């Protein structure tokens, strides 16, 4: 099955956009597509569990200069240095068993062109303070694509250990009767076929995006 790629959006704070971020975002999208194409062909033992229609991941964080060979997450930056992570909203191209494979969640949810919201909240763990200047919201609309990737760039202004939690919500459109979905992101260090299987996403890393800013 061919997985269509979504538009490559760049969502960053004013003045922080860089060509390297766009290149890294395109590379992450291509690696996700390749990993899914390989992982979806793997044989797996079917077990009872919740229907995996969609999921959300956070990849990173990365700091410039980026090594596009593939860039490795770098969780240590200097105060004032931009740091980037990527949100990945995944729509399953195949309906998990025991339901028929088609229509898939990608076709149902993506085909409905439902709006979605990404909320990211940053906390300076060292000071136990929420950092409003490094928190925000991304509003967008789903398309019939498996991966919707957004780049989010933050600039710490105070030393400390930071954690960023990413939450996603797929909203109900006025023209549909579908219920809303909500979830929070797991962080992924390495994109490879082991995180995907025939029924969709397999691996969960229940941790926020974390990085340290030093003076």
pLDDT digits (tens, 9 = 90+) for 58-112: 998 988 766 555 556 778 899 999 999 999 999 999 887 777 767 888 998 899 8
Mean pLDDT of 183-194: 78
Domain covering 9-43+51-214: architecture: Sandwich (2.60)
pLDDT at residue 177 in the model? 55
Q: Give the pair of three-digit tokens for residue 4.
A: 């269509």
pLDDT at residue 67 in the model? 59
Whether residue 126 is predicted with pLDDT greater than 90 in this model: the reply is yes
Q: Give CA–CA dist 178/208, Å, rounded.
A: 29
Sheet holding 147-154, edge to edge: 9-10, 147-154, 83-91, 54-63, 186-188
pLDDT band at 51 (very low <50, low <70, confident <90, very high): low
Q: Give CA–CA dist 138/82, Å, rounded.
A: 18
Q: Out of 65-69, 71-75, 127-131, 156-160, pick the least confident.
A: 65-69
Total residues belonging to the chain: 215
Break the chain down into helix, strand, coil percent, rounded to 5. 15, 40, 45
pLDDT digits (tens, 9 = 90+) for 3-40: 333 333 333 333 444 558 888 899 899 999 999 999 88
């Amino acid at each position: 099955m061919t997985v269509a790629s979504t538009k490559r959006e760049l969502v960053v704070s004013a003045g922080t956009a860089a060509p390297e971020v766009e290149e890294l975002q395109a590379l992450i999208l291509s690696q996700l597509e390749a990993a899914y194409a390989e992982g979806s062909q793997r044989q797996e033992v079917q077990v009872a569990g919740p229907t995996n229609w969609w999921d959300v991941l956070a990849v990173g964080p990365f700091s410039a200069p980026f090594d596009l060979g593939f860039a490795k997450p770098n969780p240590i930056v200097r105060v004032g240095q931009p740091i980037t992570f990527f949100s990945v909203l995944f729509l399953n191209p195949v309906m998990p068993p025991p339901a028929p494979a088609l229509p898939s969640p990608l076709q149902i949810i993506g085909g409905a062109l439902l709006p979605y919201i990404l909320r990211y909240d940053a906390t300076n763990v060292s000071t136990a303070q929420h950092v409003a200047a490094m928190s925000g919201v991304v509003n967008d609309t789903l398309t019939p694509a498996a991966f919707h990737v957004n780049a989010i760039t933050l600039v710490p202004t105070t030393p400390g250990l930071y954690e960023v939690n990413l939450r996603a919500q797929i909203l109900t459109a006025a023209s549909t009767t579908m219920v809303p979905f909500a979830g929070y992101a797991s962080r992924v260090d390495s994109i490879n076929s082991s995180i995907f299987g025939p029924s969709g996403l397999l691996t969960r890393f229940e941790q926020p995006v974390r990085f340290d800013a030093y003076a």
